[in-house]
Amino acid sequence: MAKPQPKQGGDGPRHVAIIMDGNGRWATQRGRPRLFGHQAGARRVREIVEACPDMGVDYLTVFAFSTENWKRTQSEVAGLMNLFRRYITREAKALKANDVCVRFIGDRLRLDTKLVSMMDELEALTLDCKTVNLTIAINYGGRDEVARATKRLARDVATGRLDPEKVDEETLPKYLDTCVLPDPDLVIRTSGEARISNFLLWQSAYSEYEFIDTLWPDFSAEEFRTVVGQYGTRERRYGAVPA
């Protein structure tokens, strides 16, 4: 299957990736536990997914849990894992009904088997959906992804399935978790932080970035529409000089 290519020129973004930051601060500002903010953030995902078709966004990738997030308190991590299970249970039918194809990226080995099984089932349920491609990054880190991809590539070289002399910058993406996705045109990070936090390191080499002050639970479809609209005014040259 050929990997879809990003749009160029002044078109709107076909693939938007979002670092959903600020859930904990949003909850703290309201005197509530951090998990309350994560629950509000999960509800916001549905609104953003539903807004994608009208804006011409075919692919949406959201950063739900990083390889570094295991450093958080045991209670917060456990609460997040329970939230992921509840999200799949609650949203599965709506995602299918709205023709949303769901994929998960990241290293599943550290996740509990029940959650992995639920992820597999949701992927299978929505496999033939085509209106929006929703990718959820769980236990994902860009460096970890590249390391895992490199291991797979090295095994193919060692077994003779891949000629090392033919390895180039087009080879590694075929081994990444996102091998069937186009690279993101636009990456949005909410909450005012200006970091990429180990997210889609290879894929975002030529992405446009927007760092938004709004905390994720407050990031509405209207604001999403504004950011996507601003992208259309940019000229993406990929290193070339316009004629």
Euclidean distance between CA atoms 142 and 150, whole angstroms: 12
Catalytic status, residue 133: no
The active-site residue, picked from 21, 58, 177, 185, is 21
CA distances from 4 to 15, 36, 179, 181, 183 (A): 10, 37, 10, 6, 8
SS3 annotation, 178-194: CCCCCCCCEEEECCCCC
Place of tokens 């990003």: 6
Side chain identity, residue 191:
S
Greatest distance between any 2 Cα atoms in the chain: 59
Sheet holding 59-66, edge to edge: 100-105, 132-140, 59-66, 15-19, 186-189, 208-211
The answer to whether the CB of 181 falls within 8 A of the CB of 133 is yes
**Two structure tokens written together for 51:** 């807004």
21 catalytic per annotation: yes
Hey, what amino acid is at 122? L
Which is catalytic among the residues 23, 58, 69, 139? Answer: 69
Instruction: Extract the runs of DSSP E, i.e. beta strands, from 20-114.
Output: 59-66, 100-105
Residues known to be catalytic: 21, 69
